[in-house]
């Protein structure tokens, strides 16, 4: 990034913690890690607005791991909850009923089920109204809290509880992952970015950049889910890093509609290396490898990066399909 930033290396990650240790999330949860980093970048004055999902359970009466405000709304309408808080703060400050020092950064935090599926409409509404808020989607590519069912974020060939692998469906999920980044960008959100917890400096800079922009600032964090994806929690960051290195999870941002990739792998690691780390793709390797499905995924990744190369004059060497 060319603009001035206070985040140059991982050593610049703020030391302040806004989430107490010992919360109720699974070991290795990418979602809570994203909330932790996001909060560090934003500082203390935050109102989190949540939709139903894993994170909902993290604030279980009478406890909260957060040092900031929290509102659980409903599955479909967290962005509308953000609208209510933002509008109330604005009108109360305008009427002199509330000091400016009480102002808050309003942040929607949901999983992909809310962001990609049931809350898509309310997010579109908030974007259209140019609501000044942040949206942090921790994307673990399925309905994790209910036990890992397919969402419209679930990638092709991932198994899930509702796209099980059978003789008739040897690859699990037959659908494609919805391109939420492009959907949000198409609605003219001024800032849209993808994040990975494995790339902390990139993450922090994007939140920092959003702070300078009025209106909807929307983030999709690739949130490793050891419980749902099936891998040892100690490898969460490694799995996320592999998603970036294989090009499966591109790190990018859109400022007023102009897309720029903030990290371009020099040569893509074969997707096979990433897929084989997780049991949700286990059927692609056991009992026998299914090279045609793996090749399909590799081709779609290569196609994506070929398009990026054409549009942004960057180059990621494709991996063999």
Q: What residue ranges bind other proteins (CB under 8 A)? A: 44-45, 47, 49-50, 56-57, 59-62, 64, 66-74, 76-85, 87-92, 94-95, 97-98, 101-104, 121-122, 124-125, 128-129
- Whichever of 1 and 85 has its CB closer to other proteins, that residue is 85
Least CB distance to other proteins at residue 321 (A): 42
Least CB distance to other proteins at residue 260 (A): 30
Sign of CA dihedral 288, 289, 291, 296: positive
Least CB distance to other proteins at residue 75 (A): 8
Least CB distance to other proteins at residue 263 (A): 34
Axis crossing angle, helix 236-245 with helix 30-42, rounded to the nearest 10: 80
How far CA 189 is from CA of 138, 234, 250, in Å, comes to 18, 35, 19
Sign of CA dihedral 116, 121, 126, 127: positive
Closest CA to 204 of 32, 31, 36, 19: 36
- Whichever of 145 and 302 has its CB closer to other proteins, that residue is 145
- Whichever of 49 and 271 has its CB closer to other proteins, that residue is 49
- Whichever of 80 and 248 has its CB closer to other proteins, that residue is 80
- Whichever of 57 and 267 has its CB closer to other proteins, that residue is 57
Which pair of tokens denotes residue 125?
A: 């509404």
Q: How many CB atoms lie within 10 A of CB 21?
A: 6
Least CB distance to other proteins at residue 306 (A): 37
Does the N-terminal peptide bond of residue 60 adopt cis geometry, omega within 30 degrees of 0? Answer: no
Distance, in Å, from the CA atom of 177 to the CA atom of 107, rounded to the nearest integer, reads 24
Least CB distance to other proteins at residue 145 (A): 11
- Whichever of 15 and 61 has its CB closer to other proteins, that residue is 61
Which helix (H) or strand (E) segment holds residue 186: the answer is: helix 180-186
Distance, in Å, from the CA atom of 71 to the CA atom of 107, rounded to the nearest integer, reads 10
Distance, in Å, from the CA atom of 38 to the CA atom of 302, rounded to the nearest integer, reads 30
């Amino acid at each position: 990034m060319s603009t001035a930033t206070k985040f140059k290396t991982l050593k610049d990650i703020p030391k302040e913690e806004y989430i107490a240790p010992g919360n109720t999330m699974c070991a290795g949860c990418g979602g809570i890690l994203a909330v932790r980093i996001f909060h560090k970048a934003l500082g203390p004055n935050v109102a989190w607005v949540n939709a139903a999902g894993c994170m909902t359970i993290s604030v279980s009466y009478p406890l909260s791991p957060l040092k900031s405000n929290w509102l659980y709304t409903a599955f479909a309408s967290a962005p509308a909850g953000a609208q209510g808080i933002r509008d109330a703060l604005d009108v109360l400050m305008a009427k002199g009923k509330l000091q400016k020092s009480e102002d808050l950064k309003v942040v929607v935090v949901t999983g992909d089920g809310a962001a990609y599926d049931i809350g898509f409409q309310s997010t579109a509404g908030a974007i259209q109204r140019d609501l000044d808020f942040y949206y942090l989607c921790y994307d673990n590519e399925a309905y994790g809290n209910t036990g890992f069912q397919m969402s419209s974020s679930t990638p092709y060939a991932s198994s899930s509880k509702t796209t099980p692998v059978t003789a008739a469906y040897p690859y699990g999920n037959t659908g494609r992952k919805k391109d939420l980044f492009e959907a949000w960008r198409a609605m003219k959100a001024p800032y849209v970015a993808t994040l990975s917890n494995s790339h902390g400096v990139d993450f922090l800079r994007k939140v920092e950049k959003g702070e300078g922009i009025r209106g909807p600032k929307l983030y999709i964090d690739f949130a490793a889910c050891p419980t749902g994806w099936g891998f040892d929690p100690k490898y969460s960051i490694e799995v996320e890093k592999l998603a970036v290195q294989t090009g499966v999870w591109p790190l990018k941002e859109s400022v007023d509609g102009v897309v720029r990739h903030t990290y371009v792998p020099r040569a893509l690691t074969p997707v096979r290396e990433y897929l084989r780390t997780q049991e949700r793709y286990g059927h692609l390797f056991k009992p026998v490898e299914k090279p045609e499905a793996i090749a399909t995924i590799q081709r779609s990744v290569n196609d994506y990066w070929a398009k990026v190369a054409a549009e942004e004059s960057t180059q990621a060497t494709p991996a063999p399909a």
